[in-house]
Structures are given as structure tokens and as C-alpha cells.
Amino acid sequence: MTTAQSNDAIFWSHRDNGRDQLAPLSIDKQTIDAQTGDEQADVVIVGGGFTGLWTAYHLKRLAPEKDIRVLEARRFGHGASGRNGGWVVGNLAGLERHLKGLPLAQRQALCELLSANVDEIGATLSQEGIDADFHKGGALYAAARYPAQEALQRGYLEHLLALGHRENDCLWLSADELNARARFRRPFGGIFHRQVATLHPGKLIDGLVERLAAMQVRLYQQSPATSIDDGKVTTPQGSVRAPMIVMATEGYNTLPQLRPHLVPVSSLVIATEPLSQSQWDAIGLAERSTFADASRLINYGHRSRDGRLIFGARGRYRFNARPRHQAAITQGDIQMRKALLQDLFPDLGEVHVSHGWGGTLGLSRSFRPHAIVDRRAGIATAGGYAGEGVAASHLMARTLAEMICGQDTPQTRAPWAFDGCALDQVVRRWEPEPLRWLGAQTITLSYATEEALASRERHLPLIGPALSRLNDRFAAVIE
């Protein structure tokens, strides 16, 4: 019988006495106090996830004299940063919306910036002594379950190259070449994207918190921002005034400034117990590449450093934009993901799922990430990562820090950087309920129907192409 830990622990493992153990993060011990009293700072950051912590880190590196405070409503890593699959992707979801109309040389330079971001994360972790299991093994985007997936992946390769990614970083693999890297059920071929890594999100959060404390950044847990107004962040027991306030809450925001622009979409992940060597021999992944197959109902996985399979799939939107605060997921959710994982790797055999967790990412109406500094209002924000936030949050946080400090860099000149703009000028507002919920349900049903038809390899000359064209329109509806 498949079971999973059903507490509120973040992630699938945590280093303890030199061993990888299944346990909550050490910062769960509430060693960081809540904010109290009325305070003054140079910068106050609302949100203790990757965006907030990386912004504090880069600000302190650029301007060590700045007094920086970070306010987290619950505990560091409670939000999207604590509930993901650990992919560090050298790309951005929605990147084509930023690059539209730019000459090829400029697109290539921006793609180089995204690729370099992956290596910079790894180098920073090494420099700061943060052991977050960083491993750059690339990504396998596979056509691995039914024939129609090959055309989808070839189309995605054309898309990556058209964006400006280098050909030697985005390679087509034949069925045999794909099979040599990972033994999927039905390998038809796929893409190898070199600029992708993995890390352990919990260890990254833990390491950043410890490093920021050593850098004299003031960190507060259990300190929700009840309001942001006139240069002041109010909490239940006090306030912090600052000439610059950074809103870094992503999908877990309750702030009226952000709620119309970002909606929470949940993603659910499972982790197996460490596999035996014979199981790894049967399915491959010796280089610990990440993997995903060509499905509109996204799935993603990788082999962790301690020998587990981490696998996530099938996000959903909850009525009235409700974020997911509980970490545990149901047995039904676990079984569905386990079945899909075993469908991808039939030679895997029976596995025990030790952990299942779920969380919420923030999806912007413009479906493109952004870093915004509104100097007139004294407010900055970043988000809209659409599921690729582990790497994107670092890049956007660095961009925010450089903009706040008035620097002229490749990041601050990038098309996702908006200096001197208000949020309303950059990110559109979502439609009101129930339109959002009805739209999400319709799109999910249509995607699932297309997937079912393709997986059964049913040739329906009228319905199949029409449904595919309809789903192409759905995919573009938020441009």
C-alpha cells in the first residue's frame, strides 16, 4: 500500500548529521522571532520565499550599509518556494512575449543571460557554502508515451531555437539516444536541454536564511503584512517603515495590490523512497537529468541526490483564487502520479511513495515573469514565474536589487525589467469569478480530452485536429 508523510514538513528530505533524512526543515523550530513594535529600515521585503530571500541577499551584497528587513507571514519557505520539484531552468515560461519583435542577436544575448543564471546559482551556493544538492544534469523533454508526442517535441525544439537558445545547448535525441539516457516506455525521441539543473529547495531556503542572518539582515517569521500603505508595512504586532517596500509573495499573497494580477495555481509532487541500484539500472537517469514528456497537462521529474524519484504533475486552479496552505496531499493524488510515473517507466516496478506535497505558484494574467520598481510609490515586486520560479526568482531578485540600487546592467536592461512603472502598467488584471474558474475548468477538460485521444492513438480526422487547434488557442488566451 502506498502511503506518504502527512505532516506539514516541507520537501522530501533534509540533511541531518551527514545523512539525508525525511524530516522538516530545521528552521521550523521557530528560532526567528515575529516582528514587534514600530521600526524603520531602508528596505522591507514582504515574503520569505526565494524571491524575497534572494532580493535581500543581492541587495546586501550591492549595498552592505542598507538596513534590510524580511517579513514572512508563516515560516520561511511556506509558499511556492517550499512546494516545488526543484528544477533550475535556463529559460522562462512566457519568454516569447518578452522577446517578440527583437532582433536575433538580442534574443540570443538574453537567452545567454538565462543560461548563465543557472551556473550563477550553482556558483553562489558554492561560494556561500550552501549545500543544496545543486546538480546540473540537463533536461530530457521526451516523446515517450505515444507517437503524436514526437511532433510536439520537435515543435518545442524549433521554439527554443527561435527564441535564441544555442543549438549545442538544445539537441534532438533519436529514440536510441534517448533510450541510452533514460528508458521510457515508448521512446520516439526528444530534446536534451543542457542548461537545466536541480536542487533541494528546502536546503536552499535553510541556507539562505542562515547566510542572511550572518549578513545582518533582520528576519521575521509569523509576521504577516496586514497592509502596505504610505511607505509602511503593518503587521499584527507592529510596523516597519521604509522608502522601498518589496512585495515578494507570489501565489500566497493577500495584498490588495497583487491579488488582481496573480492567481494561485496548485502543483502536486510525490517522492519515492530511495530506489535500489537494480531499479536505477532498469530505468537509467545515471546523469540525473530532469525529465518531462510532451503533454499539455504538465509532468516533471528527476533523480535526487539520495536516490529518490521526484515527480510532479497536473496542476489545478481553485475557485476564488484560494492558495494551498496544507502541504499533505490525498492518497488519490498520490496514486494518480505514481501510476503516471510507472507508465513512463514500466521497468521501474513497484515503488513506495514516502512523501507527497502540494503548493501554489502565482500565474500572472500576462503570462510572463516581471521585475518592477515603482519609484513614485516606493514599491517593487517580482513574480509571474509560471512554474519555473526556482531559477527565475533568483534572476528577478537580482534584477530588482540592481534596479533599486540604480545600476545599469544586462539584467536591468532586459525586457522583463520595468523601472519607474506601476504594476497596473505592466501586468493585466485577471477576469472576475466565476469566469476565471469556468475558464480553468474548460481548458483542463479540453487538454485532458486531447491527451486521452492521443494516448489511445485514435485517428479522428475532424475531431483531433480541431481539438488541437482549440487548445492552441487556449494556450495563447492570456497573451
Q: Are 278 and 352 in the same domain?
A: yes
18, part of any domain: no
321, part of any domain: yes
C-alpha grid cell for residue 269? 509532487
Task: State residue 255's pLDDT score.
Answer: 81
How far apart CA 199 and CA 360 sit, in angstroms, is 19
Count: domains in the chain: 3
Cell 543549438 -> residue? 167
In degrees and rounded to multiples of 5, residue 198 shows phi and psi of: -135, 160
339, part of any domain: yes
- The DSSP code sequence of 321-362 is T---------HHHHHHHHHHHHHH-GGG----EEEEEEEEEE
Task: State residue 462's pLDDT score.
Answer: 47
Task: State residue 465's pLDDT score.
Answer: 59
Q: What is the CA radius of gyration of the chain?
A: 22
Q: Are 275 and 355 in the same domain?
A: yes
Q: In what order do the strands lie in the sheet with 238-241?
A: 37-40, 238-241, 232-235, 227-229
How far apart CA 479 and CA 48 sit, in angstroms, is 29
Cell 532580493 -> residue? 55
Which domain, by its residues, includes 157?
A: 136-195+264-363
Task: State residue 28's pLDDT score.
Answer: 42
How far apart CA 134 and CA 142 sit, in angstroms, is 23
Q: Are 390 and 454 in the same domain?
A: no
How far apart CA 105 and CA 117 sit, in angstroms, is 19
150, part of any domain: yes
Q: Are 459 and 390 in the same domain?
A: no
215, part of any domain: yes
Q: Which of 373, 376, 372, 49 is nearest to 231 (CA)?
A: 376
Q: Are 300 and 394 in the same domain?
A: no
- Give the Cβ contact number of residue 278 at 10 Å: 8
Task: State residue 475's pLDDT score.
Answer: 53
167, part of any domain: yes
pTM for this entry: 0.89
Residue 228 sits at the vertex; the CA angle it makes with 224 and 234, to the nearest 5 degrees, is 50
How far apart CA 414 and CA 48 sit, in angstroms, is 25
273, part of any domain: yes
How far apart CA 339 and CA 335 sit, in angstroms, is 6
pLDDT along the chain (479 residues), means of 10: 36 34 38 90 97 98 98 93 93 93 96 98 98 98 92 94 97 98 96 98 96 97 95 97 95 79 86 96 97 83 97 78 82 92 93 91 84 97 91 98 98 97 90 78 67 62 53 48
Q: Are 237 and 356 in the same domain?
A: no
Q: Are 273 and 288 in the same domain?
A: yes
State which of 363, 383, 415 marks the end of a domain.
363
Q: Are 238 and 352 in the same domain?
A: no
Q: Are 29 and 55 in the same domain?
A: yes
Task: State residue 97's pLDDT score.
Answer: 92
- CATH number for the domain that contains residue 343: 3.30.9.10
Peptide linkage before 256 cis (omega within 30 of 0): no
382, part of any domain: yes
How far apart CA 139 and CA 335 sit, in angstroms, is 25
- CATH number for the domain that contains residue 391: 3.50.50.60
Q: Are 180 and 268 in the same domain?
A: yes
C-alpha grid cell for residue 84? 516545488
Q: Are 215 and 170 in the same domain?
A: no
C-alpha grid cell for residue 133? 544538492
Task: State residue 324's pLDDT score.
Answer: 81
Residue 144, SS3? coil
Cell 528560532 -> residue? 31
How far apart CA 476 and CA 426 sit, in angstroms, is 18
State which of 344, 363, 382 marks the end of a domain.
363
Q: At what angle do helices 104-128 and 201-214 cross, to 10 degrees?
A: 70
Q: Are 448 and 405 in the same domain?
A: no
